[in-house]
Amino acid sequence: MELNAFIIFIAAIFTSNILLTNFLGMCSFLSVSKEVDSSIGLGMAVVFVMTMTSALNYVVYHYILVPLDIIYLQYIIFIIVIAAFVQLTEMVMERFSPILYYSLGIFLPLITVNCAILGVSLFMIIRNYSFIQSVAYGAGSGLGWLLAILALAGIRQRIKEKYVPTGLVGAGLSLIITGIMALAFVGFSGIVVIQ
Amino acid sequence: MKKKEIFITSAFTQNSVWRQILGICSALAVTNLMLNSLVMGLGVIFTLALSSFTISMIRDLIPKRIRMMVQTLIIASYVIIVDLFLKAYYPEISKSLGPYVGLIITNCIIMGRAEAFAGKNAPIDSMIDGIGAGVGYTLVLLIIAFVRELFGFGSVFGIPLLGDWWTKWSIMVMAPSAFFMLAILIWVINTPKLKRG
């Protein structure tokens, strides 16, 4: 079935949120969500890198790996593409826009090991998306991730001074908040469905 | 440190999931069925043991600046082995795990053990540490999967236990319950530790 790219974009943000339904990118999600400012920074960096790497990996997969019949190397190639792209972005940013570099640059190395980035590339291959669909999926997933981390950071900032059982402080509490958020997002699932 | 101590430390007292909150992406994603969790856990044990061993073997040869990249490539090679093995012998499970097998590469536990242990210790010790961390991870997966599968499908390892009278909790199969289960697990395990001081 051919899905409209715009539908995929919307679905990736709400109904198939990469974090809340596929659990990807949890590590940096939990560690960076203490403050709203830094989570916006990381979120923006994720949106950018995710969109670009899903486009790059699509091209690499369909025009290099498939013709050469070396699909089994996809993991290694994808990781290299992502790492190289992040490194390149860091260098370009440092050279041309130091202000942007100091606000976003510190988050870039974190992104290489963010499983959501690799996950988006793998999902797009498994679901047989076209180029436009892949880019829409990448951008949508990035925005969905930004939305989730922003919401969590906002809630965590408010809850910081409240009383919580000691065993739950930190990760436990964040997980419960995320669970409630995921429940809320389940409510969107009637709108559109992509696997 | 004795071998047994290394194992106990990395599997239980310093368990990556509940002490350090690492590698939870896949811990959440595959735990709706026990079988998937077990296969995933075995894959992680295999990758962790061998990549720790390899990284420790060549730890003096890796230039400091590019060590992350080298480690990632070593890990990726082992993950490819796991992936091809599953595709060849267990195509059904491979299909239901989907991209999560490939995502073992970015599982922070493996990178974490490589950085924290394998980079400084002898190969055999590192391998034991890797197996320990993997066993600890598998344990967490199985505990969560047990509860989710029991309440969600009324079965354990696909064997129906609760029978027809059981109303299946569809929430247990969906995403949110994974977050709640992991949070409760962390809570339960950390509470007595804090009381003792």
Q: What is the pLDDT of residue B155?
A: 80
Give the pLDDT confidence of B91-130 residue by residue, as tens digits: 888 888 878 888 888 777 888 888 788 778 888 888 888 8
Residue A68, both tokens = 């050469």
How many helical (H) and strand (E) elements, i.e. helices and strands, does chain B have? 9, 2
**Alpha-carbon gap, residue A20 to A186, rounded angstroms:** 9
**Alpha-carbon gap, residue A8 to A3, rounded angstroms:** 7
Q: What angle do CA A82, A128, A184 make, to 5 degrees?
A: 80
Residue A140 · residue A13 · CB < 8 Å? yes
Query: What is the distance in angstroms between the Cα of B2 and the nearest Cα belonging to chain A?
Result: 31
Give the pLDDT confidence of B66-77 residue by residue, as tens digits: 777 888 888 889
Reply yes or no on whether the pLDDT at B149 is more than 80.
yes
**Alpha-carbon gap, residue B146 to A41, rounded angstroms:** 38
pTM: 0.83
**Binary contact (A167, B194; C-beta < 8 A):** yes
Nearest to A40 by CA among A145, A115, A120: A145
Helix (H, G, I), strand (E, B) or coil at B166: coil
Give the pLDDT confidence of B14-45 residue by residue, as tens digits: 777 777 777 777 777 788 788 888 988 899 89
Overall average pLDDT of the A103-126 stretch: 78
Average pLDDT, chain A: 82
**How are beta strands B155-156 and B159-160 bridged, if at all?**
antiparallel
B29 alpha-carbon distance from chain centroid: 11
Q: What is the pLDDT of residue B194?
A: 60
Q: Which of residues 131-170 of B touch A (CB under 8 A)?
A: none
Reply yes or no on whether the pLDDT at A121 is more than 70.
yes
Closest chain A residue to B23 measured between Cα atoms?
A27
Q: What is the pLDDT of residue A44?
A: 85
- Tracing tokens 């070396």 back to the chain, one arrives at A70
Comparing CB atoms, the residue among B21, B80, B176 nearest residue A171 is B21
Length of chain A: 195
The domain containing residue B14 runs over which residues?
A: 3-196
**Alpha-carbon gap, residue A111 to A105, rounded angstroms:** 10
